[in-house]
Structure 1
Amino acid sequence: MAHLVEELGLDDFDFFAWDARGHGKSPGARGDAPSFSACVKDIQYFINHIQENYGIIPENIAIVAQSVGAVLAATWVHDYAPKIRALCLASPAFDIKLYVPFAKTGLSVLSKLKGNFFVTSYVKSKMLTHDEVRAKSYDEDPEIARAISVRMLLGLYDASKRIVENAENIYVPTQVLSSGADFVVYQQPQRKFYDKLPHPLKEFHTLDGFYHDTLGEKNREIALSKIRRFITQCFSSPYQAPDVLNADKIGASLAVAEDLSTPLPKNSIKNIFWELTKKNLKIGSYFSQGLKIGEETGYDSGSTLDFVYRNQSESSNILGKIIDRQYLNAIGWRGIRVRKQNIEFLLKKYSEILQKKRKPLRILDIASGHGRYVLDAVATLSKRPDSILLRDYSELNVQAGLKLIQERNLSDIANFSTGNAFDTESLASIKPKVTLAIVSGLYELFSDNDLLRQSLDGLNKAMLKDGYLIYTGQVWHPQQEFIARALTSHRQGDAWVMRLRSQAEMDALVEQAGFKKIDQCIDEYGIFTVSVAQKI
């Protein structure tokens, strides 16, 4: 990519580039990483580094990325919702041409049997570019890794599928350059991705005759001139934040939720299928403790979440134990447990920052369930908090939480009370003012943004200046229809229909309430985010 610094001709811009872990000068096994999502988070850390060390805010940053790097960049923009000025993607590798029948399926099976292993790339330099000098440098460059780990390759496929399907959550001016004679990746997913982008400032260009190395092709000035113009125009006017605050009233996420809320025709095959699914869950609840809790209290209840956190087959019979394990291994529940880990990590991180600054550590959770994740995180702190206040609407959850507080010997600093998480005045009246507040798994259950505004306004008033807010989001879910059609909510047994909020929407609501986002984590499946914002 180094040649782009001169060839793009953007002389008023600073350029920054990074080697992904496992590549170039970066550490790690060549072509490998702990996960694809770890590399996505590396981009966030890199942007943080640029901001902290060079004073360049995201609103003044444009991203140029190619191939796998383009998928990483698109995933980052989708999952972390950075306020960047422009995104230029060259030949994004949303779907690699493996040429071997059932290659992906075979690799998935082998990875389960063998664990992680490496696959050597079939790509030759002559398949990448018509530029003979550049092709020769590719063949002779000792820093280029020829192999990629299977976990990275499969992670690339999973992320690509998710991002292409949910590109409507990318609210950034985006340009896609597609190579017309690409031997390495398919063009169709690139076009599908582009078609779903919601931002009015978007472009798709097919570069006839270009091989996969779009930005290193012999006639690359054709591509570079388009990037130069696009970036220049995006910087010709001030940054404009996306208008997403009314996504609960109009837009793609609302349309999906409405469709899932609409009853199916009674005698349709689809309706019969989901009715049978619900009956099977009901029958299973006579054997499985996990399903029993879900059927009795709702699959989104605090009791269900506490069972998921415990992650143990608790049924007394063999069939129940098998059902429990299958239930607990569902991708959504795996993501929930990662969310718990991320909450604990960020709670510990910002608790220690407050204590290091000699500020009081007063913790508040406004919808705690049983409060297990807060109390587990507190147990890892080197110094006890000054106070812990847990609240929940359910008396059942309050009593279970009080029992946990007693078991942890925290009764002298912790309390659990009944409270409405959407009552602005009730939250605002909390004394003394808190320095670290948590909202976990609550806002995802309610489509109405006005409810969130009430809650966030109350939280702002309950918090000291410079205090931290940890909040969760749900940007995607692979089982959204199953949950809506088959599972019940804690709210009077209604269907559990979720409206998925983009990270951009969730961050905008938090910002509107007087907070500034400063940190974020997301599980490797791309489902649950945990973010941190500071009261400003």
Structure 2
Amino acid sequence: MIETAFASHDGVELFYRHWPARSGTAKGAVVLLHRGHEHGGRVAHIVEELGLDDFDFYAWDARGHGRSPGKRGHSPSFAHSVRDLDCFVKHIVETGGFPMERIAVVAQSVGAVLAATWVHDYAPSIRALVLASPAFDVKLYVPFAKEGIALWQKLKGPFFVNSYVKARFLTHDPARIASFEADPLITRPIASNILLELYEAAGRVVADARAITVPTQVLISGSDFVVRHAPQHRFFENLGSTIKERHILPGFYHDTLGERDRATALEKVRAFVTARFVEPPVVADLRQAHLSGATRDEADRLASPLPLLSPRGLYWALTRASIRLGGLISKGIATGLRTGFDSGSTLDYVYEDEARGLGPGGRLVDRQFLSAIGWRGIRQRKVHLEELIGRALARLAGEGRPLRVLDIAAGHGRYVLDAVAASAAKPESIRLQDYSPINVEKGTALIAARGLQSVASFRRADAFDTEGLARIDPKPTLAIVSGLYELFPDNALIEASLTGLARAMEPGALLVYTGQPWHPQLEMIARALTSHRGGAAWIMRRRSQQEMDQLVTAAGFRKIEQRIDRWGIFTVSLAERV
């Protein structure tokens, strides 16, 4: 066993253990993720007991656990830890020489929720996923405990909750009980923000498990005192994987892979992982998901009108009326009603994040509008856009390439200009485009206000015009597509746009693109808000991250890295033209 560390996305060095393949030639790598409160040493026994001698094994100590740094049981957010996992696996890919297709993940409890969220949000093309007693719904036992924790955190800020679980309720194995009780690295407290965000991420992933197409095995402990079974079954039933297994283990406590009779569970894991590596990788082709699939069905339901006199029909009619009323005193709502809530004008207003309206009441309503979860996600998307645009410019400059920026649907262009202003590497040209005359006018004014007329221009153009994009001269070295593809359900349009960009870009040029794999307010948006297209209903068809990435890959790009907000709504990715 080798003990070492890797640098995560924020520079923090996280500890991990590595067991090279005993056979000397590795077929692949197995990543082991431990339970909450524990560390990688608690899953070390799996390496030998699983009997997969032709595989390298890796087990980390998650941030705030075991020998990794950080406050015990704490992480800045659950999404922060999911990104840690993304960095860990990329580190294994880079240092171990394993392509993503030769990696399997075996995870327990909270580690299983981390793994499921990572696969959902980042769409890695791993070979297999094994989830043992995933902690999709932790039993807190005390009535209204979750609500109480949320309220106290809102009043006082994050705090720590100590685990009530005794070792004898985790496993029947006396040796495992004794080692748990004597282990100085066991972390009893868990930060309140992590506990609450664990519930949020789990609920989202269970509901949207159709987006997960990786071959998946779920092991359910029959006598689990720690987590509830119902979400585990619902997750399995929702899974989009064509290869999936569910095994219920009667009498097993929560520590499924550390139980007294764990040989039964480990045999199932061994058989599943072995079978996946004997057979070719299974990859679902989602490029036709606009024609059939879960998100197409969802969009069709949202596009279907409700009977006006039904309870839901009346509810949404009242909601639309209240929005129109709010538009009389709130500038943000008025902008959305006038130009469409998905327009560049509305997004620019959301970016500014300054409540304006008629008197104190109007400003209060405007603040509520600006604080909606979707708009918070939009502002975080802007942060991620600026970060990846800056990284792209620095990378291109470091390679000695010319810096020529193109945004094919820039809105007012604020996020591009802000990113350029913050970057040490300055482009020789910035070409912003949009189909809306209003956006062209406002964007041109924004360029003038910043004194960038010598390098920046704003033109009216169609972002789906393949030939028009392909003819752009000079050829862009950095192309940006933000907030556009999410508005159009038809993948043929996206393919036309990406094909034009690919033809305009030389190998090594970079593409920044956004996605929207999830949104908690889809029905509210569809039933109550209007779009920029003639005031029609704003109905979105979500694309899973895997679907979006496949479209980009098919056009001739290779994804390098990704960002996602902590609510799992908006992604920003960086890809290279290959």
Provide TM-score, normalisation by structure 1.
0.99
Q: Which residue identity is paired with 1:297? A: T
Deviation (angstroms), 1:199: 1.3
The answer for the alignment partner of 1:453 in structure 2 is 495
The answer for the alignment partner of 2:9 in structure 1 is none
Deviation (angstroms), 1:52: 1.1
DSSP-derived class of the 2:422 partner: coil
Task: Give the Cα separation in 2 of the matches to 1:464 and 1:409.
Answer: 30
Task: Give the Cα separation in 1 of the matches to 2:528 and 2:566.
Answer: 25
Equivalent of residue 478 in structure 2, options 423, 436, 449:
436
What per-residue deviation string (whole Å, max 9, x for no partner) do you get for residues 147-189 of structure 1?
0000000010100000100000001000000000100000110
DSSP-derived class of the 2:457 partner: strand
Task: Give the Cα separation in 1 of the matches to 2:199 and 2:214.
Answer: 23
DSSP-derived class of the 1:119 partner: strand
What per-residue deviation string (whole Å, max 9, x for no partner) do you get for residues 89-133 of structure 1?
000000000000000000000000010100000011001011111
The answer for the alignment partner of 2:90 in structure 1 is 48
Task: Give the Cα separation in 1 of the matches to 2:78 and 2:495.
Answer: 34
The answer for the alignment partner of 2:455 in structure 1 is 413
Equivalent of residue 424 in structure 2, options 367, 370, 382:
382
The answer for the alignment partner of 1:273 in structure 2 is 315
Equivalent of residue 93 in structure 1, options 135, 151, 162:
135
The answer for the alignment partner of 2:53 in structure 1 is 11
Task: Give the Cα separation in 1 of the matches to 2:502 and 2:362.
Answer: 45
Deviation (angstroms), 1:240: 2.8
Q: Which residue identity is paired with 2:385? A: I
- Map 1:277-316 to 2 at 5 A: 277-316=319-358
Equivalent of residue 82 in structure 1, options 111, 114, 124:
124
Deviation (angstroms), 1:266: 2.5
Task: Give the Cα separation in 2 of the matches to 1:532 and 1:55.
Answer: 22
Deviation (angstroms), 1:2: 0.5
Q: Unaligned 5+ residue runs, structure 1?
A: none
Equivalent of residue 186 in structure 2, options 134, 137, 144:
144
The answer for the alignment partner of 1:349 in structure 2 is 391
Equivalent pair of 2:340/2:533 in contact (CA under 8 Å): yes
Deviation (angstroms), 1:533: 1.1
Identity of aligned residues (%): 57
Deviation (angstroms), 1:465: 1.2
Given the alignment of the two structures, is residue 490 of structure 1 paired with residue 568 of structure 2, yes or no? no
Deviation (angstroms), 1:383: 2.8
Task: Give the Cα separation in 2 of the matches to 1:293 and 1:317.
Answer: 17
Equivalent of residue 375 in structure 2, options 311, 314, 333:
333
Given the alignment of the two structures, is residue 185 of structure 1 paired with residue 227 of structure 2, yes or no? yes
Task: Give the Cα separation in 2 of the matches to 1:383 and 1:345.
Answer: 13
Q: Which residue identity is paired with 2:207? A: E
Q: Which residue identity is paired with 1:249? A: L
Task: Give the Cα separation in 2 of the matches to 1:302 and 1:109.
Answer: 36
DSSP-derived class of the 2:336 partner: helix
Task: Give the Cα separation in 2 of the matches to 1:206 and 1:495.
Answer: 45
DSSP-derived class of the 1:488 partner: coil
Given the alignment of the two structures, is residue 204 of structure 1 paired with residue 239 of structure 2, yes or no? no
- Map 1:250-269 to 2 at 5 A: 250-269=292-311
Of 186-195 and 315-324, deviating more is 315-324
- Map 1:38-187 to 2 at 5 A: 38-187=80-229
Q: Which residue identity is paired with 2:282? A: Q
What per-residue deviation string (whole Å, max 9, x for no partner) do you get for residues 184-235 of structure 1?
0001100000000121210111100000000000000000000000000011
**Highest RCO, 1 vs 2 (Cα 8 Å, sep ≥ 6):** 1
What per-residue deviation string (whole Å, max 9, x for no partner) do you get for residues 348-391 of structure 1?
01110110111111111000000000001001111311111000
Q: Which residue identity is paired with 1:496? A: W
Deviation (angstroms), 1:316: 3.9
Q: Which residue identity is paired with 1:335? A: G
The answer for the alignment partner of 1:480 in structure 2 is 522
DSSP-derived class of the 1:379 partner: helix
DSSP-derived class of the 1:206 partner: strand
Task: Give the Cα separation in 2 of the matches to 1:345 and 1:467.
Answer: 17
Q: Unaligned 5+ residue runs, structure 2?
A: 1-42
What per-residue deviation string (whole Å, max 9, x for no partner) do you get for residues 37-66 of structure 1?
000011110111011111111100000000
The answer for the alignment partner of 1:223 in structure 2 is 265
Task: Give the Cα separation in 2 of the matches to 1:531 and 1:493.
Answer: 30
DSSP-derived class of the 1:232 partner: helix
Equivalent of residue 373 in structure 1, options 415, 418, 433:
415
DSSP-derived class of the 1:495 partner: coil
The answer for the alignment partner of 1:506 in structure 2 is 548
Q: Which residue identity is paired with 1:91? A: S
Task: Give the Cα separation in 2 of the matches to 1:529 and 1:96.
Answer: 28
Equivalent of residue 75 in structure 2, options 33, 40, 54:
33
Q: Which residue identity is paired with 1:392? A: D
Equivalent pair of 2:213/2:242 in contact (CA under 8 Å): no
Task: Give the Cα separation in 2 of the matches to 1:8 and 1:114.
Answer: 45
DSSP-derived class of the 1:335 partner: helix
State the Cα RMSD in Å.
0.7
The answer for the alignment partner of 1:422 in structure 2 is 464
Task: Give the Cα separation in 2 of the matches to 1:269 and 1:241.
Answer: 42
Equivalent pair of 2:215/2:282 in contact (CA under 8 Å): no
DSSP-derived class of the 1:300 partner: coil
The answer for the alignment partner of 2:402 in structure 1 is 360
Q: Which residue identity is paired with 2:170? A: L
Given the alignment of the two structures, is residue 394 of structure 1 paired with residue 428 of structure 2, yes or no? no
Aligned length: 536
Deviation (angstroms), 1:329: 0.4
Given the alignment of the two structures, is residue 245 of structure 1 paired with residue 287 of structure 2, yes or no? yes
Q: Which residue identity is paired with 1:417? A: R
Task: Give the Cα separation in 2 of the matches to 1:530 and 1:381.
Answer: 18
Q: Which residue identity is paired with 2:519? A: H
Task: Give the Cα separation in 2 of the matches to 1:161 and 1:382.
Answer: 41
DSSP-derived class of the 2:507 partner: strand
